Amino acid sequence: MSTSVKVFTVLALAVAVGLATAVSPFASSSPDGLGRVAHDKAFVDRSELHAVQEDAPAPDYAFPGIHDARVATGVAGFAGTLVVFALGFGMAALLRRREGPAAAR
């Protein structure tokens, strides 16, 4: 008995969504490797936001309109994981579909 690809996908996606939603609010908020080095070596102030990022929907992984920081992070993680899945899946499906009929023709 082997797990079908559909079941595998649903389970693995559930793990990803669960981690992004329920665990990410409790992740370390210390600067990461590059952030630490940029701070210690005094080039972090060169960082700037691109004009198109001024209107980013959820800057710094905080879903807008939610006051509780942890909930805002969790909701951002939930939304982001599903958007990434949809993009990755959609792109792969399009690529395969384009190949299918072309090969048949």
Partner 1 sequence: MHIPDGFLSADVAAATGVVAVAAVGYGLHRANRTLDERQVPLLGVTAAFVFAAQMLNFPVAGGTSGHFLGAALATILLGPWLACLVIAVVLVVQAFMFADGGVTALGANIVCMGVVGALGSGLMLRAGRAVLPPRRTPFLGLCGMTAWLAVVAGAAVASVLLAISGTVPLATVLPAMLGVHVFIGIGEAAITVAAVAAVLAVRPDLVAAAEHLEDEPVSAPAAGEALP
50: three-class secondary structure by DSSP: coil
- Verify binding: residue 32, partner 1, rule CB under 8 A: yes
The count of chain residues that interact with partner 1, using the rule CB under 8 A, is 66
Q: Burial code of 70-99, b = ≥16 C-beta within 10 A, e = fewer? A: eebbbbbbbbbbeeeeeeeeeeeeeeeeee
Token pair recorded at residue 57: 């929907």
User: Closest separation between CB of residue 90 and partner 1, Å?
Assistant: 8
Residues that bind partner 1 (CB under 8 A): 1-3, 5-6, 8-9, 11-13, 15-17, 19-20, 23-24, 27-38, 40-41, 43, 46-50, 52-53, 56-61, 73, 76-77, 80-93, 95-96, 98-99
